[in-house]
Amino acid sequence: MTTELSQNYDPAEVETKWYKAWEESGCFEGNIESKKEPFTIMIPPPNVTGVLHMGHVLDNALQDIFIRRARLEGKSALWFPGTDHASIATQVKVEKVLRDQGTSRQELGRERFLERAWEWSEEHGGAIFKQLRKLGASCDWRRSRFTMDDAYQLSVQHAFVELYNRGYIYRGKRLVNWCPASQTALSNEEVDMRPQKGKLYKMRYEILEEPGRFVEISTTRPETIMGDTGVAVHPDDARYADLVGKHCWRPFPREKIPVVADRAVEKDFGTGVLKVTPAHDQVDFDIGKRHGLPLIDVMNPDGTLNGLAGEEFDGMDRFDARKAAVAKLESLNLLIEAEDYDNNVGYSERAGVPIEPRLSEQWYLKYPRVEEAKRAVAKGIVRFHPKRWEKVYLHWLNNIQDWCISRQLWWGQRIPVWYRKDSDRSDPDNWHVSVEGPGDPESWEQDEDVLDTWASSNLWPFATFGWPSSEPKVKAELDYFYPTSMLVTGFDIIFFWVARMIMSGLELTGEAKDSLGDEEIEARIPFKDIFIHGLIRDSKGRKMSKSLGNSPDPLDLIEKFGADGLRFGIINIAPSGSDILFSEDRIEIGRNFCTKLWNACRFRQMSGELSSNDSLDRILDRLAGSSLDGYGNWVLNRLLETTREIENQFERFEMHQLTHSLYRFFWGDFCDWYVEAAKAMLQSKNDPRHGVALAVSDLVIRQSLQLLHPVMPFITEELWQAMGFGQEGSFLQDTCLPKAAELSEALALRGVVVDEVGARRIEEVNGLISQARAIKAEYNVAPKRDVVLFISPADESSSSIVTANLDTIKKLAGAATIDLRDQVENLPGAVSALGTVYLDLSSAIDVETEKERLGKELEKLGKAIQVGEGKLNNDSFVEKAPAAVVEGARRQLAETKAKREEVARLLESL
RNA sequence: GGGGGAUUAGCUCAGUUGGUUAGAGCGCUUGCUUGACAUGCAAGAGGUCGGCAGUUCGAAUCUGCCAUCUCCCA
């Protein structure tokens, strides 16, 4: 079943064709196959209304690579897809639409708003799945889950109730990050610190006990003066020691407030005197607590000031209030100066407005299993790749703070708590917490709030399977697929998501227990390996954003480079660092590599029959009994090396070298050297080496396609079929990728022993060819095959290698004839490990050019000899270094010396 | 203030337990329509591996200090 390859590769056609065939055949479906080892990845669920961006391309290309590799290794692979409801992000978008339509969620009411949100998510949802298919993602689409699915919501409620009953969830009144735009609390992780150009105001408050004496105070937030309930200085600050215990006048509303001493005050900041506004700042809140200062909340939920701020400020926006407060200070002659000041201000990540520390009653989660979560990573039960991210993870866990999980939003999972009607909500006696709700609903009202999105997505690895249902299917699947094999995600959500999944997995996927042993940890963790990749930025290192317009649409890139080209390109530039600088130039390599692959196969098709390719055994049998030529041996040796290299990369999760290994071997070794060398053997069908060259090519191409398939699934599938490697109705991914050791053994079984020493000699032949080409280039001789070369071999064995490969050397160096001679005079020559190669020039040689070239070479060799001799003359090197290293150095030095002698002789002869 | 990371060719980056004369892609220069491929082929220029000290027979690699940049947390 072979097809002739067209002259050009058409990704669009090939990609559509194969994705359809794959999906229809069900080959992406992950099922329990008890004889196979499971390999599971849960997709980091994208926002339901999101569209594919470059970050998704990288993240999902990586997951697909691991999943497809697992299939080739004979595992039962499951890549579980789904989407996240993205509570605040989606609500913000829907509210914007409502605003544009002249209405608001408040006007619609909860029920109708939720209808609109569902409409929105159904209308825009699923788009990203179509895009992921274009990318080639081999997810088990049948299983796709949405965090707002009924079953998933049930899991979330169950988890809440369970954690509540186990004492991890409590209600608390404290300062939260308040978003005045969305009017909800946010967790610390949802707040971005952004540098701001602001003003630092210096003002003065009069001392109550000493009329006429003032204390100078610096602040960036004069609009909160009305909430001041104290003034603080550092206890060691001699300047103000006498003031502690006295009072000063808050200018408006005029009120006496105490001066307290507290270590939280920075002596060197501003005047060293801090106004304390406990209801509007975390530090002030803590100071207020220590000194018993009252809390005065002067702000409304929407960020306007309220009546407590005084009549003139009532209803004023917080930013206007700042100006008004400054003006008022000025009019009271209390403002000393206003200087420019750069500071960091917290912004709501989603709504993009400055957050407001605000006193509020919320639900908190005291994280469960913190100790075990640390132990899981410290002991290597859960492994980060690259490893350094475990430091970031552990550092966060060591400084962990309770998590505010309630959100004053509507789009999301409603908190399963009911309060007795018309009663005090702060009193737990009036609470009902359950999945089912109270038996007499008419006497209760449900908490209006929903849960933080991450409080539902942290159950993703097991809730997707149906946890905590006791259905046999759910149990069997969890038994088989959980813990999942790995997680692939960006470093930016290690806190948001990764750590929280680990803790919830440890707490919820088994019985409630005081502490967990290592074996229990191993059974409960959500995944064993965490592959962390960087974030994609533009070529100047800026974040990709719609407003900058520096974020390319992946679908455009797919159109331009092909999905395979994009995948190869993006993986190729994704190093293990934290940022990935993207530019189109840098992924061209992917498209070019596809073209190369295509053409190499096309050349193979032109070179001979493809009729006996349909199994590895049949190809190997074609090699049985035939003696492998030098280049065949060399390229098979490189094939085995490359296969081994890639095995190691997958074992170690070091993907940054993957494309380099594949590229170097297929392009740099196979195409550039083997195919070119084989052309000599393929010239005549009567050449006994003809069949061997075809069999070697087929073996290399077959194995390469398998190795490349995880990175470039489409083109490899197309070529696999076209080259006759496939069998009717089967796909590349259903085949078994032989390991290097297995392949080597299978070859040996047929009497083909790949020999490394012989391979090294071919490297030397290549070196000689390069030298010949270099001389020709130096003399501007066109690389045609009409020159005459002379070679004087370095020794007997070199002579036989050169002789054995003479037609290849001719072909690759571009020579009509090559004569072996002992000595050659007055011709430009270059020295290689195998001997000296000379270019026969019909005209006289350019002595000056030649002198310069050889002089440079001589200098280089001289330096190398100095280094080598220095080492070997050093007794302690010879004594202490490993014998192999010393031996290597000796051999190297001898070779270099011989070369230098030869170059010196050439120079002399001029 | 606390913690992480980076610094290697013009640019973006490899360099895995320290061991030949430090590599790749892009860019640059030169020459090639060699019947697989100009999305290509060949040759070449370009680096005192941020600085200083230390450990070692041997350091881009390990340790310390310094400098610059960067990210995260407060």
Dihedral through CA A285, CA A288, CA A292, CA A294, nearest 10? -70
| Contacts (Cβ under 8 Å, ≥6 apart) of A898 | A794
In chain A, what percentage of residues exceed pLDDT 70?
99
Longest Cα separation, chain A: 115
Tell me, what's the pLDDT at A50? 87
* A38-42/A76-80 β-pairing: parallel
Strand B contact with A652 (CB < 7 A): yes
Rounded CA–C1' distance between A803 and B65, in angstroms: 59
Interval A69-83 mean pLDDT: 97
pLDDT for the residue A714:
98
% of chain A residues with pLDDT over 90: 66
Q: Which of residues 308-347 of A touch strand B (CB under 7 A)?
A: 344
CA to C1' distance (Å), from A164 to B74: 29
Note the CA–C1' distance, A630 to B46, in angstroms.
Answer: 35
CB A868 within 7 Å, strand B: yes
Q: Where are the alpha helices (DSSP H) in A750-882?
A: 756-778, 796-804, 806-813, 847-873, 875-880
Q: What was the ipTM of the complex prediction?
A: 0.95
In which band, very low, low, confident or very high, does the pLDDT at A245 lie, cut at 50, 70 and 90? very high
CA of A865 to C1' of B22 (A): 17
Q: Among residues A849, A803, A801, A824, which one has the least CA distance to residue A905?
A: A824
pLDDT band at A699 (very low <50, low <70, confident <90, very high): very high
A528 touches strand B (CB under 7 A): no
Say if residue A191's pLDDT is above 70: yes
- Distance CA(A523)–CA(A372), nearest Å, equals 12
Least confident of A306-315, A525-534, A881-890: A881-890
**Distance of A531 CA from B50 C1′ (whole Å):** 30
So what's the pLDDT on residue A725? 95
Q: Which nucleotide is nearest to A604 (CA to C1')?
A: B36
Q: Is omega for the bond preceding A710 within 30 degrees of 0, making it cis?
A: no
**Whether residue A844 has pLDDT greater than 70:** no
Question: Taking the C1' atom of B39, which residue's CA lies nearest?
Answer: A592
The count of other CB atoms within 10 Å of the CB of residue A806 is 17
Q: Give start and end residues of each alpha helix (H) in A136-177.
A: 150-165
The pLDDT-based confidence of A882 (bands split at 50, 70, 90) is: confident
Residues 789-818 of A with CB under 7 A from strand B: 814
What integer is the mean pLDDT of A526-555? Answer: 86
CB within 7 A of strand B (chain A, 446-505): 492, 495
pLDDT band, residue A706 (cuts 50/70/90): very high
Q: What is the pTM of this model?
A: 0.91
**Nearest nucleotide (CA of A599 to C1'):** B36
- Ramachandran category for residue A687: left, alpha or beta (phi over 0 → left; psi -120 to 50 → alpha): beta
A742: Cβ contacts below 8 Å, ≥ 6 apart: none
Characterize A482-500 residue by residue with b for buried, 16 or more Cβ atoms within 10 angstroms of its Cβ, and e for exposed: bbbbbbbbbbebbbbbbbb
Mean confidence (pLDDT) of chain A:
91
A585 touches strand B (CB under 7 A): yes
CA-nearest of A822, A766, A767, A757 to A794 is A822
pLDDT for residue A236 is more than 60? yes
Q: Which of residues 190-219 of A touch strand B (CB under 7 A)?
A: 191, 193
What does the pLDDT read at residue A362? 93
| Tokens encoding A360 | 């509020």
Strands A145-146 and A82-83: parallel
A286 CB and strand B closer than 7 A? no
- Mind listing the pLDDT tens digit for each residue in A640-696? 999 999 999 999 998 888 999 999 999 999 999 999 999 988 888 888 889 999 999
> Which residue has tokens 């392009």?
A667
Provide the pLDDT for residue A672. 95
Taking only the tens place, the pLDDT of each residue in A603-613 is 999 999 888 89
What nucleotide is nearest A661 when CA is compared to C1'? B24
The residues near A78 (Cβ < 8 Å, ≥ 6 apart) are A30, A31, A38, A39, A40, A41, A140, A143, A481
Around A132, how many Cα atoms within 13 Å sit in the side-chain half-sphere? Answer: 32
Q: In the structure, how far is the CA atom of residue A527 from the C1' atom of nucleotide B18, in angstroms?
A: 35
State the pLDDT at residue A286: 86
Question: Smallest CA–C1' separation from A395: which nucleotide?
Answer: B3
Cα angle A461, A467, A470; round to 5: 150
Residue nearest to nucleotide B27 (CA to C1'): A585
Interatomic distance A97 CA / B36 C1' (Å):
55
Residue numbers 390-419 of A with CB closer than 7 A to any atom of strand B:
391-392, 395, 399
Q: Are A693 and A682 a contacting pair, CB within 8 Å?
A: yes
pLDDT of residue A144: 96
Tokens found for residue A132: 């992921």
| Model confidence at A638: pLDDT above 90 | yes
Ramachandran area for residue A354 (φ above 0: left; ψ -120 to 50: alpha; else beta): beta
The CA–C1' separation of A886 and B57, in angstroms, is 11
> pLDDT tens across A846-872, in order?
677 777 778 878 888 888 888 888 888
Position A845 confidence tier, pLDDT thresholds 50, 70, 90: low
Subset of residues 657-686 in chain A with CB less than 7 angstroms from any atom in strand B: 657, 660, 663, 667-668, 671-672, 675-676, 679
Between CA A445 and CA A422 the distance in angstroms is 9
CB A896 within 8 A of CB A868: yes
Q: Is the CB of A606 under 7 A from strand B?
A: yes
Q: Please, is A145 exposed, middle or buried when counting C-beta atoms within 10 Å of its C-beta (0-12, 13-18, 19+)?
A: buried
Nucleotides of B under 7 A from a protein CB: 3-6, 12-16, 19-21, 24-27, 30-34, 36-37, 39-45, 56-58, 70-74
pLDDT in tens, A250-300: 998 899 999 999 888 877 777 889 899 999 988 888 888 889 999 999 999
**Helices and strands of chain A, counted as H and E runs:** 32, 29
Q: Which nucleotide is nearest to A589 (CA to C1')?
A: B25
Could you report the per-residue pLDDT of A451-498, keeping only the tens digit for each? 999 999 999 999 999 999 999 999 999 999 999 999 999 998 999 899
- Count the helix, strand and coil residues of chain A and give each as a percent rounded to the nearest 5: 50, 20, 30
Query: Bridge partners of A473?
Result: none
Tokens of A163: 């954690």
pLDDT (tens digit per residue) in A33-42: 999 999 999 9
Q: Are strands A450-451 and A406-407 parallel, antiparallel or unpaired?
A: antiparallel
A8 touches strand B (CB under 7 A): yes
How far is A477 from A467, CA to CA, in rounded Å? 10
Residue A880: CB less than 7 A from any atom in strand B: yes
Backbone dihedral angles phi then psi of residue A5, each to the nearest 5 degrees:
-80, 140
Supply the DSSP symbol for A354: B
Q: What is the pLDDT of residue A687?
A: 83
Q: Does residue A892 reach within 7 angstroms of strand B, measured from its CB?
A: yes
- What confidence score (pLDDT) does residue A908 get? 79
Residue A423 CA, nucleotide B49 C1', distance (Å): 72
pLDDT number for residue A842: 62
Residue A600 has pLDDT above 60, yes or no: yes
Nearest nucleotide by C1' from A565 CA?
A: B39
Q: Is the predicted pLDDT of residue A149 greater than 80, yes or no?
A: yes
Q: Please confirm whether the linkage preceding A386 is cis (ω < 30° from 0).
A: yes
Residue A712 CA neighbour count, 13 Å, CB half: 35
Name the nucleotide nearest A575; use CA and C1': B13
Length of chain A: 910
Report the nucleotide nearest the CA of residue A766, measured to C1': B42
What is d(CA A303, CA A323) in angstroms, rounded to the nearest whole number?
A: 15
**Residue A673 CA, nucleotide B40 C1', distance (Å):** 15
Rounded to the nearest 5°, which phi and psi values hold at A312?
Answer: -70, -20
Q: Which of residues 36-95 of A touch strand B (CB under 7 A)?
A: none
Quick one: tokens of A114?
A: 């939720």
- CA A356 – CA A353 distance, rounded (Å): 9
Q: How confident is the model at residue A1, as a pLDDT?
A: 64
Q: What is the DSSP string of A817-841?
A: EEEE-S---SS-EEEETTEEEEEE-
